[in-house]
A and B are shown apart, each in its own frame.
Chain A
Amino acid sequence: MRLLLVEDSKRLRTTLVRALARLGHAVDEAADGHEAALSAGANDYDAIVLDLMLPGRDGLDLLDSWRRGGDRTPVIVLTALGAVEDRVRGLALGADDYLVKPFALEELVARLEAVMRRHQGQARSLTRIGDLEIDFAARTVKRGGMEVTLTAREFSLLECLARRPGRILSREQIEAHLYSEVGSPASNAVDAAVYALRRKLSPGGAPPLIHTRRGLGYVMQETP
């Protein structure tokens, strides 16, 4: 998943970027409100983690402008303001969830998963495509009941495709979801990643679930 992390504390920002990257997410970072506005305007993120007190432009102001502009990207608000009215204000302006500092990394990840699932209309974290079973919360994959081991990057690619079953995603779209602004990939990185994932998901000659649409991109579905 491609995430935008907006946080002015450099230590917290760097640490969260490293942790989320470890979990296979592509994370862009913004240290102030203006940077955040630029990044959010230029990229299509799966979710945004937004600190409220920011230099330049206030987090609530940013959120308000996104929602007014019709941007429905899930937003988790990070706040050191624990007062009920501050939380309510964030939620009222269109935040999907909030976390009060200090928080557990696992909780942030779980909430990110939850808001994205809700955003895509999936209430449960378990998704099935044919005999492929993906648990986004537990980050486990089974094909025909057999566990498939994936790297974080591979899981992220699978998540990108499986969350939009039957929809063709262009290489650029996949790339945008897999790589952050700083981690510019090699030109055939998406093709190589799809190839590797397709092989891992078809152990023992099982029918492939990721199909190539020439000139268009890739689609994930049971039927070719």
Chain B
Amino acid sequence: MRSIRRDLGLRIGGAALMLLFVGGFGLYFSLRKALATQFDHILATKAQALVTASEIDRGEFEIDLDVQAFAGFGSNSPGDYFEVFAPDGTTVERSPSLGADGLTWPEGFDDSDEGFADLILPGGSPGRAYWTSFTPSIDSEEEEGEEPAVAPTLRLLVASDDSGHHRTLRTVALFIGLFGGGSVLAILAILQAVVKAGLMPLDRLSADVQRIDVRHLANRLPLENLPAELRGVAAKLNELLERLETSFAREKRFTSDAAHELRTPLAELRAMTELVTRWPEEFTPEHGQEMLAALVELEDLLDKLSLLAKADSEALPSVEAVDLEASLRECLDRLRVEAAHRRLRVTLSVENGPFLTDPALWRAIVGNLVGNAVAYAPEGGEVRVSASPRFFFVENGAPDLDPADVGRLFERFWRKSAARSEKGHSGLGLSVARAGIEFLGGVCTASLDQGRLRIEARWPDRRAPGLPSPPPV
């Protein structure tokens, strides 16, 4: 499994290691080059001093001994050498430090007038050499008429032991190596501590998130002390938790409400059945009708629950062409007796047209919305039903409803009164209607204006989205 801590450690550690490595090598080679340049420069300066101090006096080549000593070629300077060669290669002069054997000619000495090269010194130690061509001055007084003497072009080779210089470089390399190694260890230790401290808020968040489960959905992730990078994530998670908690609570309430609603008609049926089983003389046709009515209510409740389950599912509605006006008239016919009993005036206006829908669901939507209006409109009032293939609304007087109730109308099992005194109204009708409308791709809204409740469904087109086009008229 990937770990941010390990990844960060490896990457930062790797980068630091590489920087140290490159830095160490860079430092070493820069120093080596600087030392070599400085060494060569000293060699060249010494050579220049010798050239300046050399002359041909009465045909004899000589170099001022003081200058020799000053330039480091004295008898007590065993590591520094020079040798002056005539154009034919014979030695003209050599430093006291050289014995009978002269200097080994370094590479390139033959080919160029001036240059630097490494060489092995007479003692066998490594050295550095510089050579140059020069013409010594002549210290003589010409006789009148005598042709001035011409000094020959000589070659000077100076060499010095550079083993000290190599020792310095080895010391520097050792120091860089030791310092680099120590730094790597220190960096790794610091890195671990820094990464650990830096990731602590993430660890805390991770522990908090892991503590969340279905039983603890009310817990929220603490936002204080969280770094800015995590605050957004935690806030979003809290938002999701909030929604999850609401959704779980709704599901729980729905299940409990459904069980509650089923228990009441079941208790009625059981008590009525037990009564007539124990005392058969209690059975009357009215008693039978009541039992049947309880069963019908139970059946109706189960139908609504299964409609809700269908609307909640991911299934597609099975649509077909429906005669809008005929479907509405059929629904009003079913409710005519109840409407007449409550002295309600029900008006219907329809703009007919091709209408594609799921017939069973449509019947349930219309039945629930109009049935609800007929049941709750004040006696003697008016219920208005209006429809077209794109919209449908039911309007009725609702003097008992408060504006605050409108938002709760579609809640499952919500009723204005918490009790079940109004028979046959489970508090599911409007939620079934809305779930059905949304399942068919529409939008369902409720509004309360001057004591009149209007529940409205709208479809963006004459058909639900994703459904086939309506057939040609």
Contact = CB atoms under 8 A, between A and B. Distances in A.
B270 interface: yes
Given A82-B263, A83-B256, A8 B270 contact: no
Given A18-B282, A81-B256, A12 B418 contact: no
B278 interface: yes
Interface stretch (B227-235, B402-410, B419-427): B419-427
Given A19-B275, A104-B274, A105-B278, A55 B263 contact: no
Given A19-B271, A104-B274, A105-B271, A32 B419 contact: yes
A67 interface: no
B275 A18 contact: yes
Nearest to B261: A80
A9 B275 contact: no
B256 to A, nearest CB: 6
B391 to A, nearest CB: 35
B266 interface: yes
Contacts of A58: 418
Interface residues of B, dominant DSSP:
helix
A31 B263 CA distance: 18
Contacts of B259: 80, 82
Given A8-B420, A32-B421, A54-B419, A101 B274 contact: no
Contact of B294 (A11, A82, A104): A11
Nearest to A106: B274
Contact of B271 (A12, A53, A54): A12
B264 interface: yes
Interface in A144-178: none
Contacts of B243: none
A204 interface: no
Interface string A101-136: 111111000000000000000000000000000000
Nearest to A55: B419
B417 interface: yes
Contacts of B266: 101-102
B418 A53 contact: yes
Interface in A60-112: 80-83, 100-106
A9 B263 contact: no
A21 to B, nearest CB: 10
Interface in B409-438: 417-421, 423
Contacts of A9: 264, 267-268, 420
A182 B270 CA distance: 26
Nearest to A83: B256
Given A9-B420, A100-B263, A102-B266, A15 B271 contact: yes
Contacts of A19: 271, 274-275, 278-279
A45 B212 CA distance: 51
B343 interface: no
Contacts of A11: 268, 271-272, 290, 293-294
Contact of B270 (A54, A80, A83, A103): A103
Contacts of A16: 271
Nearest to B272: A15
Contacts of A199: none
B260 interface: yes
Contact of A101 (B267, B279, B290, B294): B267
Contacts of B260: 80-82
A205 to B, nearest CB: 35
B417 A55 contact: yes
B282 A102 contact: no
A16 B271 CA distance: 7
Interface in B149-184: none
A103 B264 CA distance: 10
B275 A105 contact: yes
Contacts of B264: 9, 12, 80, 101
Contacts of B278: 19, 22, 105
Contacts of A32: 419, 421
Contacts of A213: none
Contacts of B419: 8, 32, 53-56
A85 to B, nearest CB: 11
B421 A31 contact: yes
Contacts of B293: 11
A53 B420 contact: yes
B420 to A, nearest CB: 6
Contacts of A102: 263, 266-267, 269-271
Contacts of B421: 8, 31-32, 55
Interface string A1-36: 000000011111001101100100000000110000
Contacts of B274: 19, 104-106
B405 to A, nearest CB: 16
Interface of A: 8-12, 15-16, 18-19, 22, 31-32, 53-56, 58, 80-83, 100-106
Given A12-B267, A80-B259, A80-B264, 16 more contacts: A8-B419, A9-B268, A15-B271, A18-B282, A19-B271, A19-B274, A19-B275, A22-B278, A22-B279, A53-B419, A55-B417, A55-B418, A80-B267, A100-B263, A102-B263, A105-B278
Nearest first, the 4 A-B pairs at minimum CB distance are A101-B267, A102-B267, A55-B419, A80-B263
